Amino acid sequence: MDIVVENLTKLYGAQRAVDNISFRVKTGEILGFLGPNGAGKTTTMKAITTYLNPTEGSVSVGNFTIHDNPDEVKRSIGYLPENNPLYSDMMVIDYLKFVAELQGIEPKKIKERIREMIQTTGLDDEKHKKISELSKGYKQRVGLAQALIHDPQVLILDEPTSGLDPNQIVEIRELIKKIGREKTVILSSHILAEVEATCDRILIINKGKIVADGTARELRKKSEGQEILKVKIEDGDKNEVFKAIQTLECVGTVDFIKEEDNAFEVQSKPELTCRKPIFKLCVDKGWTLTEMTPIETKLEDIFRDLTMN
């Protein structure tokens, strides 16, 4: 099921929490929602799940829109809200049963579904515990289990790994990836590594507007522009090497890398590469080239570029 968001605007008083956002997510795609706190990620998700009425614009999930068929939209969505609210006084198994009944699963199939969910999310030893007794990681699994119980076509996960330890994060990511193969998934996060590891596509929003949209690689390419190399050259005088590199035609700027001896950061001029000239230079001068690595622009930098004004 595709999710289509069109010209979505949400006002809180005079503040535009979401400002005329449009995007589309296709079946089988995992979309990462990235943005600083307060950028409008959660608001957009709440609008898709029908929890908030948008001030303007529309959202459709498959053939249903949030205005005309809210119940069908709700039925097609599995939603894990921010902070993972749960009825802490209920037992895990009772809670899942409650959600299954609300989702309108046939009474005969409920047991089967609960068993499956408990297995997928690894809650077998905890199923008879009260939710309040569970650790944060297990609570998160319960949150995921309730979102998945009716086998929804669309999954909306608001910061699914917040507050988990590194092992749990990896587990949850694997789970999302596994589930995400056949479903449409939107997940939000402000952890960049997470979005890069799990998502097929990244949407960066800032101050309610989309500022970037594409795969991690595309985003990098866009912001890269010039090639940056880390070069380490030994057997030569530091300053002499520095000057020699600077005189190369292709080179834009050269910098010493402070922490390491004989290491330089070389930024090429636009559209040019310095790999060959630097290698030749070393051969000519009899220096030893011990390292030459391209420095990738980090997603963090792109993110900062786009969201800091």
Partner 1 sequence: MRQIWTITKRELQSFFDSLMAYIMLIAFLGFTGFFTWLYGSDIFFVKQASLSAFFSIAYWTLFFFIPAMTMRQLAEENRSGTIELLLTKPVSDWQVVLGKFLATLLLIVIALVLTLPYYITVASLGPIDHGAVLTGYLGLILMSAAYISIGIFTSSVSNNQIVSYLLALFIGIFFQIIFSMLSSNFGGFIGEALNFLSVSSHFDSISRGVVDTKDLLFFLSLIFLGLILTEANLAGKRN
- Shortest Å distance, C-beta 234 to partner 1: 59
- Shortest Å distance, C-beta 270 to partner 1: 49
Between residues 107 and 270, which has the closer beta carbon with respect to partner 1?
107
Separation of alpha carbons 185 and 177, rounded Å: 9
Q: CA nearest 71: which of 105, 103, 101?
A: 103
Asked if 46 and 10 count as a contact pair (C-beta separation under 8 A), the reply is no
- Shortest Å distance, C-beta 51 to partner 1: 5
Provide the b/e sequence for 172-184 (b: ≥16 CB within 10 Å): bbebbeebbeebb
Between residues 156 and 231, which has the closer beta carbon with respect to partner 1?
156
Between residues 67 and 222, which has the closer beta carbon with respect to partner 1?
67
Between residues 148 and 281, which has the closer beta carbon with respect to partner 1?
148
Tell me phi and psi for residue 77, to 5 degrees.
Answer: -110, 135
Between residues 123 and 202, which has the closer beta carbon with respect to partner 1?
123
> Rounded to whole angstroms, what are the CA distances from 303 to 180, 214, 227, 300?
24, 13, 19, 5
Alpha helices in the chain (DSSP H): 41-48, 70-76, 92-102, 107-121, 136-148, 166-180, 192-198, 216-224, 238-247, 275-285, 299-307
- Shortest Å distance, C-beta 65 to partner 1: 15
- Shortest Å distance, C-beta 97 to partner 1: 9
- Shortest Å distance, C-beta 66 to partner 1: 10
> Rounded to whole angstroms, what are the CA distances from 171 to 81, 124, 153, 178, 184?
19, 16, 21, 11, 19
Between residues 56 and 296, which has the closer beta carbon with respect to partner 1?
56
Q: Which residues bind partner 1 (CB under 8 A)?
A: 46, 49-53, 71-72, 74-75, 77, 79, 81, 83, 85-90, 94, 98-99, 101-104, 146
Separation of alpha carbons 166 and 144, rounded Å: 17
- Shortest Å distance, C-beta 109 to partner 1: 14
Between residues 5 and 219, which has the closer beta carbon with respect to partner 1?
5
Angle at 133 between CA 148 and CA 122, to 5 degrees: 40
Separation of alpha carbons 285 and 13, rounded Å: 68
